[in-house]
């Protein structure tokens, strides 16, 4: 698959690195010369082009024709919108994805035809509202403008789901336990499948059923919002009281 990425910052670098390692043909466009030169040194397997992806001539010179996926990952929402529109309309790239910093722009991007819109700010807000323990929630993916959630939880030995059969879990009606990862082995669960500690469970649910579904498998009583950091920001468990107070 041929992938073109606009933006050679940290996000663009890690995206390009992961895609190259997966065997894809990757081109990265970066408008700042020092960043482009550094990226070319770090990713010799990728093609790095100096230029602004919102300019059609730059996209054409970079080989946009025949590209399968275009990802706009600069910190500039307007630039990401324009470059995605150029990629889709002028060069007929079938799949476009834009990173959006301002949540207010998400709906605008979708209405203007951007295929996939990813807003880290919205994810952090959602994470705080959900208040799920950080070490247990591995990943959550919003689908259909956030109406559905696909999330993965790692089970601890004290969680209520451990030792129970799937049919006995008190999952809400608008949810389903879709898969279990045990070690490196994926399992499609049946009603009589018993959950073990250290299993990772993948649940699909409606947005408004997220908390109830999480509580059916995890102990959230000790969860508390402590800090925001990393790619996702979720509540962490309260540290044990060691007798000292700030």
What are the residue ranges spanned by the domains of the chain?
2-118, 123-237
How far apart are the two ends of the chain, measured CA to CA in Å?
53
Fold observed for domain 2-118: Rossmann fold (3.40.50)
The mean pLDDT of 35-53, rounded to a whole number, is 95
How many Cβ atoms sit within 10 Å of the Cβ of residue 113? 11
Alpha-carbon distance of 23 to 33, in angstroms, equals 26
Average pLDDT, the chain: 81
Q: pLDDT confidence of 37, banded at 50, 70, 90?
A: very high
The mean pLDDT of 11-36, rounded to a whole number, is 93
Residue 223 is predicted with a pLDDT of 35
Does 123-237 match 2-118 at the fold level?
no
Helix (H, G, I), strand (E, B) or coil at 108: helix
Q: What is the CATH number of domain 123-237?
A: 3.30.70.1450
Across 186-196, b (16+ Cβ under 10 Å) vs e yields: eeebeeebebe
Alpha-carbon distance of 53 to 40, in angstroms, equals 17
Q: pLDDT confidence of 140, banded at 50, 70, 90?
A: low
The mean pLDDT of 176-184, rounded to a whole number, is 89
Contact (CB, 8 A) for 3 and 69: yes
Alpha-carbon distance of 7 to 65, in angstroms, equals 19
Per mean pLDDT, which range of 185-194, 214-223, 233-242 is the poorest?
233-242
Per mean pLDDT, which range of 34-38, 109-113, 201-205, 217-221 is the poorest?
217-221
Q: Using a cut of 0.75, tell me whether the model's pTM lies above it.
A: no
Which strands, in side-by-side order, build the sheet including 47-50?
Answer: 47-50, 25-30, 2-6, 69-72, 95-99, 116-118
pLDDT in tens, 63-94: 999 999 999 999 999 999 999 999 999 999 99
Question: Could you tell me whether strands 95-99 and 116-118 are parallel, antiparallel, or unpaired per DSSP bridges?
Answer: parallel
Contact (CB, 8 A) for 81 and 98: yes
């Amino acid at each position: 698959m041929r992938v073109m990425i606009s933006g050679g910052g940290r996000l663009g670098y890690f995206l390009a690195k992961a895609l190259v390692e997966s065997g894809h043909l990757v081109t990265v466009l970066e408008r700042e010369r020092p960043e482009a030169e550094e990226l070319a040194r770090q990713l010799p397997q990728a093609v790095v082009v100096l230029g602004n992806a919102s300019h059609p001539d730059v996209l054409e010179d970079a080989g946009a024709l025949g590209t399968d996926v275009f990802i706009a990952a600069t910190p500039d929402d307007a630039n990401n919108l324009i470059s995605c529109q150029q990629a889709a309309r002028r060069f007929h790239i079938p799949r476009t994805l834009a990173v959006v910093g301002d949540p207010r722009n998400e709906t605008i991007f979708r209405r203007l035809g951007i295929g996939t819109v990813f807003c880290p700010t919205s994810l952090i807000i959602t994470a705080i509202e959900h208040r799920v323990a950080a070490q247990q929630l591995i990943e959550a993916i919003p689908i259909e403008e956030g109406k559905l959630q696909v999330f993965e939880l790692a089970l601890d030995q004290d969680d209520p789901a451990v030792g129970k059969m799937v049919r006995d879990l008190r999952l809400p009606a608008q949810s389903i336990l879709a898969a279990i990862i045990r070690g490196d082995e994926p399992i499609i669960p049946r009603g009589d499948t018993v959950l073990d500690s250290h299993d990772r469970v993948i649940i699909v649910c409606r947005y408004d059923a997220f908390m109830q579904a999480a509580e059916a498998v995890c102990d959230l009583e000790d969860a508390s919002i402590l800090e925001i950091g990393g790619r996702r920001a979720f509540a962490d468990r309260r540290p044990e009281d060691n007798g000292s107070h700030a």
